[in-house]
Structure 1
Amino acid sequence: MNGPSATGPSTARPAPGPGALCLVTGATGYIGGRLVRELLVAGYRVRCLSRNPDRLRDQPWADRVETVRADLADPASLTAALDGVEVVHYLVHSLGTGADFERTEATAARNLAEAAARAGTRRIVYLGALLPRGVEPAALSPHLRSRAAVGEILRSGAVPTAELRAAVVLGSGSASFEMLRHLTERLPVMVTPRWVRTLIQPIAVRDVLRYLVAASALPREVNRGFDIGGPEVLSYREMMLRYARFAGLPRRVIVPVPVLSPALSSHWVGLVTPVPRGLARPLVESLRHEVVCREHDIARFVPDPPQGLLGFDEAVSLALARIKDAEVTTRWSSAALPGAPSGPLPTDPGWAGGSLYEDVRQAAVSASAADLWRVVEGIGGEHGWYSFPLAWALRGWLDRLAGGVGLRRGRRDPHRLRVGDSLDFWRVEEIEPGRLLRLRAEMRLPGLAWLELRAQPDGPTRSRYIQRAVFHPRGLAGHLYWWTVAPFHSVVFGGMARNIAHEAARQDRAPAGRRRPSLVGGLS
């Protein structure tokens, strides 16, 4: 190991403390978005690194942090990002997608470690994965093997690194919790793979965040990994049964069978839960082996709270309360999935001369622009898409079968959107409150697609709804796709425009306290 000693004396400056500048990578993700707030509360200054800083602008803490545009794959872009930074929180994971993801993750970690050393950074904090005992690296899933390799790269660098290794993270909106929740709620009788009997030591997201913040101030000589977990060791089967009991569901019947491979299991999870197959597979593969903490050395530096670490029931209670009160600050879908379509806005000059298909619809609305906007911003999720429900449902199922996200991601908040939010199989790319909502498609498509929804005033009590679907085809398949689905646009997009106008007028007539979407044409 090339890094500083884990036990030897330190000759460096004191460990960073409150007031130090922290760089958070992965701030658009589930943990990163929550960690930023916790660091600010603890008195740290925060800078967020992102390839697209615009996605952070609507975060509740956006006006209290710096943002910098940089890419971990580009070492040159990291110099400015790390200027003056004392602590780096490394929270970037590719979730095991793509043929070269292990190499990509290793390169990113190496670039960060080298840039941090050049910048004089004093501490790196990395959230890794809890590894099974006695399992050779070759036998690990690619997901776990890559997490371990990244930790080794960071700890072997010149900057002291604390690698916090966690298994299942329980919290409102986490992928692990959503998988557990939906499997239990939707399947009263389950034929399950053997991994449901594997022992796991889950940890509440609140405790993960507490460890991440506290690790910022670890002494200089600490350069090692720490296993972190909650107070209970449970099988996945026990977690499902306890969740059902806590949620007031009838007792679930769980029948393990030996024939479901991780690949088949990920298809099964992808069909039953909102978690798509590409994300479900690394989660499932992580459950094949027992993942239980081998030590609790972190307590030497970060003592357990007086009331102890949160147990399973407490973590579930807090998560369900957040969901019920619509206070889920980040979700697993906060981060764009690797491989999701992305591209410039359809109004950029670079589109000049390229193929660009459009479907534009307008409708006069017998309601104010404010009432129309309320319907526009509430679209998707439980409220549906105000159009032919079967067509939307079928498109969502086809996307799931192709390995995409489908419609089940829903919304983070039932009434409010912000840039970067996932919205079923769309992503909020732009929002101008009261005027414009632009969504970028993240379904599997032979091209790039957007959907723009506008609310335009047309007098004090009237408005105009303008809807624009934009598609940029990729190759012949893209052109064929557009012309294949074009005959259905009058039903899907035409019906959507009419129903949104109708719903806005209905809300305009309703008493103020009862203005809620009526699920017209929705996917209830």
Structure 2
Amino acid sequence: MKESSGGTRPRCLVTGATGYIGGRLVPALLDAGHRVRAAVRDPRRLRDHPWADRVEVVAADVRDAGSVRAAMRDVDVAYYLVHALGSGPGFEERDREAARIFGEQARAAGVGRIVYLGALTPDGVPERELSPHLRSRAEVGRVLLASGVPTAVLRAAVVIGSGSASFEILRHLTERLPVMVTPSWVRTSIQPVAVRDVIRWLVGCAGLPAEVNRAFDIGGPDVLTYRDMMRRYAEVAGLPHRLILPVPVLTPGLSGLWIGLVTPVPPSIARPLAESLRHEVVCREHDIARYVPDPPGGALGFDEALRLALRRIKEARVDTRWSSASVPGAPSDPLPTDPDWSGGTLYRDERELTVPVAPDALWRVIEGVGGENGWYSFPLAWAVRGRLDRFVGGVGLRRGRRDRQRLRVGDSLDFWRVEEIVPGELLRLRAEMRLPGPAWLDLSVTRDERGRTVYRQRALFHPRGLLGHVYWWSVWPFHAVVFGGMARNITAAARSAPPRSAG
């Protein structure tokens, strides 16, 4: 193992390393100089994480004492980031049993500290009146604090960051519904917190003094109602003002079903989170700053946390679902391993054809699209789309292209902009037509396992607000003609093109 000037680096065990917080905590711990052991039930689930080759991976189930005992060996700090939310009836008992096993095995292994991320609970409300989700998170914290191992319990409300279930509910409700009939809990006060600050506090807890064994409330500087958060989300995202009409008839159970209908967040997760929103969750203290000092300027405010969470869409990195497979620039960035329902909606139209030509012949056709060469599909449809774009103030098709055969990054190409070129392999275009959301078109050349040339075409669209969704589904019936025809005609042109002269 590597050593720092002060000796061997402390080893941190991270359970729940495939989860939203765990997947962001691991690289932060590595950056802070810690050695990391990632404990997951199925190590294969870590293969797509960009940091997987920098950590020790062990198979462990927190409800299996033997596997937890093995994972705890030689560990200095153990992070408990698992819970049974969404696993059906009896999740409270499963959470309780898992926490008991974790605490017992940590004590037996001589672990120096446990760190647990729990949930902020309302002040003055008897625990029996809490939602099952909040009640279970509070009980897990108590079990770990009583384990005999110094424990830090961080209690947070709504975590703001792409991929957080609470944030994704907020995102989808606000983006999809310009007018909302909502449960009365939209008037409840909440103290949201940016995921960047959550990760910073979690990393800092690895260095707490041994005598610290307590819970800490963590939150951002803003206390808002859920209605305030939806309205401010709309403002930051550039959406029209949202009309929000609270009604008392929507019970927590009904509102959970309502969220499941409107958003792609699974009902098994959405319902317990919705039930918890009826409680006011505001920090009662900020003692964590005595041990993990706030950065200059303090914790991130709600609006800035939103901007960070939405940043990757504006930067238009679409190599995977949202971003490249590299380590994100900040905890608020999406990860390729986040759930499919996170990161907002990204509509796709994908086509793939095998072409009996050399790759360079296909690439010449791809690099020649647009302008006088056209788009190889339903010319009337492209012309009409161009005129409509000009009618609403867009650029239309009048810009053409700089060079009939060659393209460079930054070139305008009708109502597209060349965003990326990998010569002979990829042409990525970003739409500059007037659309209710950003769009891209990828045209690429590759080879299959048999060495044959393959043409791949991918249109991507990120809808902005309800209008964006309506737009996509209104044009979807024409995709087979426009995009399907484009794929067929580009490959046909490559087959019929004369070979390039050697001179």
1:19 pairs, out of 9, 30, 39, with 9
Partner of 2:190: 200
Q: Could you tell me how far apart the structure 2 residues matched to 1:239 and 1:369 are?
A: 54
Deviation of residue 55 (structure 1)? 0.6
Aligned to 1:365: 354
Q: Distance in 1 between matches of 2:490 and 2:279?
A: 53
Which sections of structure 2, spanning at least 5 residues, go unmatched?
1-5, 316-321, 324-332, 343-351, 361-446, 457-481, 495-503
**What are the superposed Cα offsets for residues 156-208 of structure 1, whole Å, 9 maximum, x if unpaired?**
01110000000000011211111111111111111111100000000000000
Letter in 2 for 1:23: L
Q: Please give the alpha-carbon distance, in whole angstroms, between the structure 2 residues aligned to 1:117 and 1:127.
A: 19
Question: Once the 2 structures are TM-superposed, how far is the Cα of residue 502 of structure 1 from its aligned partner?
Answer: 8.6
Partner in structure 1 of residue 231 of structure 2: 241
The residue matched to 2:154 in structure 1 has which SS? strand
**Counterpart for residue 171 of structure 1:** 161
Question: Per chain length, whose mean CA-contact separation is higher, i.e. which structure has more relative contact order (CA < 8 Å, sep 6+)?
Answer: 1
Change in CA separation of 1:47 and 1:366 when aligned onto 2, cut-off 3 Å: same
The residue that corresponds to 2:288 in the other structure is 298
Deviation string for 1:215-235 (max 9, x for gaps)?
011000000000000001000
Instruction: Report what 2:478 is aligned to.
Output: none
Q: 1:335: Cα distance to partner?
A: 10
Counterpart residue identity of residue 239, structure 1: M
In the TM superposition, residue 506 of structure 1 has moved relative to its aligned partner by 6.6
| Count of residues in Structure 1 that have an aligned counterpart in Structure 2 | 358
Aligned to 1:67: 57
- Given that residues 196 and 237 in structure 1 are in contact (C-alpha distance below 8 angstroms), is that contact kept between their aligned partners in structure 2? yes
Q: Tell me the distance in 1 between the aligned counterparts of 2:493 and 2:291.
A: 58
Match of 2:453 in 1: 461
Return the alpha-carbon distance in structure 1 between the equivalents of residues 359 and 143 of structure 2.
53
Residues 501 and 273 of structure 1, relative CA distance in 2, 3 Å threshold = same
Aligned to 2:303: 313
In structure 2, give the amino acid aligned to 1:366: V
Match of 1:85 in 2: 75
**Residue 96 and residue 139 in structure 1: after superposition, are their counterparts in 2 closer, same or farther (change >3 A)?**
farther
> Match of 2:376?
none
CA contact (8 A) 1:172 1:323 kept: no
- d(CA) in 1 for partners of 2:160, 2:339: 16
User: SS at 1:299's partner residue?
Assistant: helix
In the alignment, what sits opposite 1:481?
none
Query: In percent, how many aligned pairs have the same letter?
Result: 62
Secondary structure of the corresponding residue to residue 260 of structure 1: coil
Return the letter of the residue paired with 1:457. Answer: E
For residue 30 of structure 2, give the secondary structure of its aligned residue in structure 1: helix
**Does the aligned pair in 2 maintain the 1:192–1:254 contact within 8 Å?**
yes
Q: Is the 8 A contact 2:359 2:453 kept in 1?
A: no
Matched residue type, 2:232:
R
Structure 1, residues 470-505: CA drift from partner, whole Å, max 9, x if none?
xxxxxxxxxxxxxxxxxxxxxxxxxxxxx9999876
Match of 1:330 in 2: 335
How large is the RMSD of aligned CA atoms in angstroms?
3.3
Structure 2 counterparts to residues 150-189 of structure 1, below 5 A: 150-189=140-179
> What letter is aligned with 1:123?
R
Q: Give yes or no for the alignment of 1:131 onto 2:139.
A: no
**Is the 8 Å Cα contact of residues 179 and 244 (structure 2) preserved in structure 1?**
yes
Distance in 2 between residues matched to 1:162 and 1:291, nearest whole Å: 19
CA distance in 2, matches of 1:118, 1:72: 15
Contact residue 191 and residue 223 of structure 2 kept, 8 A: yes
- The structure whose Rg is larger is 2
Displacement, 1:461?
Answer: 2.8
Q: Structure 1: how far apart are the matches of 2:150 and 2:483? A: 55
Q: In structure 1, how many angstroms separate the alpha carbons of the residues matched to 2:285 and 2:97?
A: 29
Per mean C-alpha deviation after superposition, the further-off stretch among 251-260 and 320-329 is: 320-329
**Alpha-carbon offset, residue 120 of structure 1:** 0.6
Matched residue of 2:207: which SS?
coil
Structure 1 letter corresponding to 2:296: P
- Asked if the contact 1:23–1:85 (Cα under 8 Å) also holds between the matched residues in 2, the reply is yes
Cα deviation code 1:74-115 (max 9, x no counterpart): 101122211110001110011153211111011111111011
Relative distance call for 1:364 and 1:214 in structure 2 (3 A) is: closer
- Alpha-carbon contact 1:151-1:163 (below 8 Å) kept: yes
**In 1, Cα distance between equivalents of 2:7 and 2:167:** 32
Question: How high is the TM-score relative to the length of structure 1?
Answer: 0.63
